[in-house]
Structure 1
Amino acid sequence: MRANDVAAEAEGALVRDKEEVEETEAAEGKKDTYEFSKPLSAPWGEAQVIPSDGWERMMVGVWPQQMEDRWIVAHVVDDGEEGIVFARSWTGFLIAKVFVIPAPNDATAKKVARITWEGDNERWGSEDGEAAAKRLVARFARDRFQVDLVDGEIPDDY
C-alpha cells in the first residue's frame, strides 16, 4: 500500500484503485521512483530508534500542496529495503534517502541503517554532503514527524 493510501485509510476514506492512484499522483507530480545522479552513502549507526507511531507518520510523508512547498518526503521500498526519500518538489531531484531496518528488541519500531545523499553539486550544492544530509533528515524527522533521530540539539557538523 502506498503512503497516500495509508493516509486515506487512516482517515476512514476508501482506498482508491490502482489506476485512480496513478492518475491522481501523476497529476500531482508524485512518482514511484526517485533517483540520485551521483549517490554517496554512509552508515548512520548513531541514529536513534524510530518508534512505531513515528514510523507510521514518516510513511505518510509530505506532499506539496502549494508552490511554496519545497519538499517531497515519501516512503519507498527498493529491492525489499524500506526507506524514506527527501526530494525537491519542483525538480523532483532526490537529495537524501534513509534506509531502515527493524529495531533491536522491538519488531514494530525501525532503526536507520544508512543514509544516501546526492553528490552532484548541480543538483544539491552542499559543501558537507553527509553532515548536511543528516541535518536535513534529523530536522524533518523532529519538526514534521515528531521523531528524534538524535539526542538533544542537532549538531551543525552533523
Structure 2
Amino acid sequence: MSVNGIKREYEFSEPVSAAWDDAHVITPDGWERMKKGVQPREMEDRWIVAHEVEDNGDDAILFVRSWTGFPVAKVTVVPAGDDGMSRRVTKITWEGDDSRWRADDKESQAKNDVAMLSRSFFQVSMSSEQASD
C-alpha cells in the first residue's frame, strides 16, 4: 500500500480486520499523545507505535515489533463527538501470517496488546477493563 504514491514504512503480510465497536472513545489529549507515537530508544524497547493516514483519509495507529519491523496490529479511528478532536476506534487489523506473528486467538490478542500499549505509552483507555483517560 502507499499514501499519495509513497510506500508505507510498515506493511502487513496478511492483514485481517474486524470492527471494534466496544473500544472507548479516545479523548483529544490522548489522541494527540498517540499521534506522536513511540520510537525505540534502546535495543530492549520492543515496540514502535506510528500514526498514519489511510488512503481513504482515516487516521490509524500502528503497533509494530521493533526488532522485525512487522506490524502486529492497527486501529483505525474517525472523529467522534462534537469537539471534532476526540476519536472513535472503528476497526482493528492484525497480522494473519503465522510466520510473522503467532497467537491462539489473534483478534483477542491484538485487542489486548493495543489496550495494554495504549494505556502504558499514552495513558489511553481502550477497553472497559481499564480506568478512563
Q: Give the residue type in structure 1 aligned to 2:10.
A: Y
Structure 1 residues 1-150: aligned runs within 5 Å: 32-79=8-55, 80-150=57-127
Larger radius of gyration: 1
Could you tell me how far apart the structure 2 residues matched to 1:121 and 1:106 are?
41
Counterpart CA distance in 1 for 2:81 and 2:17 is 22
Give the deviation of 1:151 after TM superposition. Answer: 1.7
Deviations 1:68-117 (A, max 9, x none): 01110011112112100001111100110000001133311001000000
Within 2, Cα distance between the matches of 1:127 and 1:108? 36
Secondary structure of the 1:97 match is: strand
CA distance in 2, matches of 1:152, 1:40: 24
Q: How far has the Cα of 1:33 moved from its partner?
A: 2.4
Report which structure shows greater RCO (CA 8 Å, sep ≥6): 2
1:34-65 C-alpha deviation (Å, 9 max, x unpaired): 11111100000100100000000011111011
State the TM-score, normalized to the length of structure 2: 0.88
Residue 32 of structure 1, CA deviation? 4.6
In 1, the alpha carbon distance for the partners of 2:110 and 2:122 equals 17
Q: Quick one: distance in 2 between partners of 1:128 and 1:120?
A: 13
TM-score w.r.t. the length of structure 1 is 0.75
CA RMSD of aligned residues (A): 1.6
Q: What residue in structure 2 maps to residue 8 of structure 1?
A: none
| AA of the residue aligned to 2:65 | R
Specify every segment of 5 or more residues in structure 2 that has no aligned partner in the other structure, as ranges: 1-6
The structure that is helix-richer by fraction is 1
- Structure with the bigger percentage of strand: 2
**Percent of aligned positions that are identical:** 54
